[in-house]
Copies of this chain bind each other. A is one copy, B any other.
Amino acid sequence: MLQPELKLRRDKIRSLMALQGIDAALITCNANLIYTYGCVVSGYLYLPLHSPALLFFKRPNNIKGEHSFPIRKPEQIVDILKEQGLPTPAKLMLEGDELPFTEYVRLSGLFPDAEIVNGTPIIRQARSIKTDVEIEMFLRAGIAHAKAYEQIPAVYRPGMTDIEFSIEIERLMRLQGNLGIFRVFGRSMEIFMGSVLSGDNAAYPSPYDFALGGQGLDPALPGGANGTPLKEGQAVMVDLGGNFNGYMGDMSRVFSIGKLPEEAYAAHQTCLEIQDKVSSMACPGAVCEDLYQAAVDIAGKAGFADRFMGIGQQAKFIGHGIGLEINEAPVIAPRIKQELEPGMVFALEPKIVIPQVGAVGIENSWVITNEGAEKLTICEEQIIELG
């Protein structure tokens, strides 16, 4: 990562800190370190409002650079700041929505005279507007993602189960350079690379707040493929995370085993229509809840209200910001008044579940520009017949 890019990102955070009178940030969670330091490190980036950032690192032990200091424990940070002639912060922000309670308390204790505030919302706000370099990384990820998806028909074999099909698609993704890891904000949601859902498993409610659920293979990870044999007349929704360079591109495509019932094709076209409508509305200034309502209206008029985004347990969003984590701002959901801004990147995923068939619909990643929404994941969008 080039220094000007890192400086740009740090200054985005600093601007938001200044608005709240925050002197300094102490950043240590992996996604935020990738954002502000360019890579994962075991350590802390100390980001003062008015002077260059300092890195305090534990591992790896071979980091060089004038602003980098090896430490064994965070308590050493205070003395090094003094030696460097830096003032103690009066108002410091820590990653309050991400750091474990005991660690937050320990780090707060380093600065007993400072007011400590939760910096997670500020960092997430900065991260929600992508830089040109970040958008370029999404574009590259989208190309690799599409290359993998284009090979999906070639790895299908009649008689496969959903999990066997998933495993071959995971391999295609890895061979295109996918890092595999699926980063999610918050402690609750977990998934392995993504999900492949077919038949009634697509309607299986999950504890995780993804667009669709699935039973999974084991109660220890109740989401995604569950061993359903892929049979004639079933739809297969492929939704794997597109992490090829740290950025979580997101794209779903639907495949069919033979022909599907007419209703499934109609539902798929409804989802494409929703995508067209919402993406055409998605300009700077558009309000998230309005986009959501437009989607729900189209699904309802087409007669799919009770199958849109699941059956029984329906997801209450149609899109979500993406970045270093899969669930960033903005969220395209009811009661979200946030306005879209240039540089926001999000996944839009209208999906409809057809009983006994599976899920149909579409998901692409989009970036908001001054001209509107631009698609980052270019790949055939119609249902592709396998076999």
Residues of chain A having any CB pair with chain B under 8 Å = 1, 29-30, 34, 38-43, 59-62, 94, 96-105, 118, 120, 163-164, 167-168, 170-171, 174-175, 177, 179-181, 183, 186-188, 190-193, 205-209, 213, 216-222, 243, 245-246, 312-313, 324
Q: How far is the CA of A43 from the CA of B188 in the complex (A)?
A: 9
Whether A60 touches B97, Cβ cut-off 8 Å, given contacts A174-B170, A245-B218, is no
Query: Is the CB–CB distance between A190 and B181 below 8 Å?
Result: yes
Can you list 27 contacts pairing A with B, beta carbon distance less than 8 Å?
A: A30-B190, A34-B220, A40-B208, A42-B207, A42-B208, A59-B207, A60-B207, A60-B213, A96-B101, A97-B103, A98-B100, A99-B100, A101-B105, A101-B118, A102-B120, A163-B174, A164-B175, A167-B175, A170-B170, A170-B180, A177-B217, A179-B192, A180-B192, A180-B221, A181-B191, A219-B246, A220-B324
Taking CB atoms, residues of chain B closer than 8 Å to A167 are 171, 174-175
Cα distance A243–B370 in the bound complex, in angstroms = 46
Q: Is the CB of A59 within 8 A of B181?
A: no
User: Which secondary structure dominates where chain A touches chain B?
Assistant: loop
- As for how many copies of this chain the complex holds, the number is 2
Which residues of the other chain, B, contact A188 by a CB distance below 8 angstroms?
30, 42
Residues on B with C-beta less than 8 A from A177 are 217
* Contacting residues, chain B, for A222 (C-beta < 8 A): 39-40, 60
Does B205 lie within 8 Å of A60, measured CB to CB? Answer: yes
Partner of A220, one of B97, B174, B221, B246: B246
